[in-house]
Amino acid sequence: MREGEFRNSSGCAISGIFSLTGKKFSGEKIIRSIAVMRERSNGLGGGFAAYGIYPEFKDFYALHIFYDESRAKRECEEFLETQFDIINLSKIPTRKTPEITDEPLIWRYFVAPLPSRLSDSQLDADEFVARSVFAINTKIQGCHVFSSGKDMGVFKAVGYPEDVGYFYRIDEYEGYCFIAHGRYPTNTPGWWGGAHPFALLDLSVVHNGEISSYDANRRAIEMYGYKCTLMTDTEVITYIIDYLTRKVGLTLNETCSVIAAPFWKTIKEMPKAEREKHEYLRNVFSAQLITGPFSILVGFKGGLMALNDRLKLRSMVVGEAGDTVYIASEESAMRAVEDSFDRVWSPRGGEAVIVRLREG
């Protein structure tokens, strides 16, 4: 069975590195970091998201697409041409390695919505792109858009994450933020689209856990136009964050107060204004509460967010060293790439850690 035809839960390793000054660094570092946690994945999925890597095309949406066959590519490109101005297209550069096999066709397109199409649609550009991604992923057989943001990209495959990094030449990219994922699925997916990170527009998510609220969350989010085709936690979490931030207009902190909401008894003890805010958020967005274990890293334009489930049923550690912030499932993954830290700490359950590029 292919990913999306069954519910696939995973144990995992996650790691993220963020430069507060925006100073770019090589992807080699994140490969070394995630490689330390090889025990936490089982070779059935690994991937990366990198921010700030396409400065020359930073105003264009970068679509990364897997094709099962050239027919799918032809059909997809025909569709893209009806919707977008394609500025640049190329194969995504890879290195051959015996650890990574059965690769699909992997292409990258830098695009901008056709102005006439965009105005006809009465949507903003982001929503136009998001809907086009859903259309491709659900309607064109053998074709999967796995990255669709600006000045960022997702790279993923079936394999151990360090091998996936080598395959995609992640060490040759320079960015201000990298996140990585090693997967331990409890089923054999055998399909690259099922690896993580999962991304929509600028948002990318890696996740370790298995959420118990999955179907409640899925059925709720599908009501707002999202289509969960992969049946993975990460997919639904990404859509929830996209919905709450981009469509509803909640801040990231408010979003965290929805998905890892404080318990009612904690809310009751808060000062009045805080209490009313949390009561409101839990009440209105009750269907977006996520229960069960998770630790997630959320990459977004200019920032990185980390969040644990409210009981903290998954490990996650944060380290600060100078202008760089490290977040990983295990401390060892940070120590592997940084000798001395100013501060190392474990966020509490439901406590969001949000870092952003410093101004100026």
Partner 1 sequence: MPYVYNEYEIIRSPACNSCRVCEKQCSYGAHVYRDGKMRSYDDKCVNCHRCVELCPKRALKIVKSNMSLRENANWSEANIREIFKQAETGGVLLSSMGCPVKYPVYFDRLLLNASQVTNPSIDPLREPMETVVYLGSRPKAIERDGRGNLINNLKPQLKLNIPIVFSAMSYGSISYNAHAALAQAAQELGIMYNTGEGGLHDDFYKYGKNTIVQVASGRFGVHKDYLENSAAIEIKIGQGAKPGIGGHLPGSKIIGEISKTRMIPEGSAAISPAPHHDIYSIEDLRQLVLSLKEATSYTKPIIVKVAAVHNISAVASGIARSGADIIAIDGFRGGTGAAPTRIRDNVGIPVELALASVDKRLRDEGIRDNISIIVSGSIRGSADVVKAIALGADAVSIGTAALIALGCHVCRRCHTGKCNWGIATQVPELVSRLNPDRGKTRLVNLLKAWEHEIKEMMGGMGINSIEALRGNRLMLRGVGLNLKELDILGVKHAGE
Return the active site residues.
Answer: 12
Strand runs (DSSP E) across the chain, as ranges?
Answer: 10-19, 25-26, 46-51, 61-67, 84-91, 105-113, 143-147, 152-157, 174-175, 177-185, 198-200, 203-209, 294-300, 303-308, 317-321, 324-328, 343-345, 353-356
Nearest to partner 1 of 5, 81 (CB atom) = 5
Length of the chain, in residues: 360
What's the rounded Cα separation, in Å, for the pair 272 and 286?
Answer: 20
Q: How far is the CB of 83 from partner 1 (least distance, A)?
A: 24
Nearest to partner 1 of 70, 286 (CB atom) = 286
Residue 276 near partner 1 by CB under 8 A: yes
223, exposed or middle or buried, with CB in 10 Å at 0-12, 13-18, 19+? exposed
Binding residue (CB under 8 A) for partner 1 from 172, 224, 323, 345: 224
Residue 220 near partner 1 by CB under 8 A: yes
Residue 214 near partner 1 by CB under 8 A: yes
Would you say 54 and 337 are in contact if contact means Cβ atoms under 8 Å apart? no
Contacts with partner 1, 280-319, as mask; x by CB under 8 A: xx-xx-xx-xxxxx----------------xx-x------
Binding residue (CB under 8 A) for partner 1 from 106, 145, 154, 250: 250
Binding residue (CB under 8 A) for partner 1 from 123, 216, 353, 354: 216
What's the rounded Cα separation, in Å, for the pair 322 and 11?
Answer: 31
Residue 187 near partner 1 by CB under 8 A: no
Burial pattern 230-256, b for ≥16 Cβ within 10 A else e, equals: bbbbbbbbbbbbbbbbbeeebebebbb
Q: How far is the CB of 44 from partner 1 (least distance, A)?
A: 14
Which amino acid, 356?
R
Q: How far is the CB of 189 from partner 1 (least distance, A)?
A: 15
Binding residue (CB under 8 A) for partner 1 from 11, 182, 194, 350: 11
Binding residue (CB under 8 A) for partner 1 from 273, 343, 348, 360: 273
Contacts with partner 1, 48-87, as mask; x by CB under 8 A: ----------------------------------------
Binding residue (CB under 8 A) for partner 1 from 97, 186, 253, 332: 186
Contacts of 38 (CB under 8 A, 6+ apart): 160, 162, 182
Binding residue (CB under 8 A) for partner 1 from 15, 147, 213, 295: 213
Best CA proximity match to 180, nearest among 203, 207, 216, 200: 207
Q: How far is the CB of 158 from partner 1 (least distance, A)?
A: 20
Q: How many residues bind partner 1 (CB under 8 A)?
A: 43
Residue 268 near partner 1 by CB under 8 A: no
Chain position carrying tokens 């509490």: 348
Would you say 10 and 296 are in contact if contact means Cβ atoms under 8 Å apart? no
Residue 1 near partner 1 by CB under 8 A: no
Chain position carrying tokens 């801040």: 251
Strand runs (DSSP E) across 141-255, as ranges?
Answer: 143-147, 152-157, 174-175, 177-185, 198-200, 203-209
Cα 177 to Cα 17, 251, 291, distances in angstroms = 6, 21, 28
Nearest to partner 1 of 7, 169 (CB atom) = 7
Q: Which residue ranges make up the site for partner 1 (CB under 8 A)?
A: 7, 9, 11, 186, 209-217, 219-220, 222-224, 248-250, 254, 261, 263-265, 273, 276-277, 280-281, 283-284, 286-287, 289-293, 310-311, 313
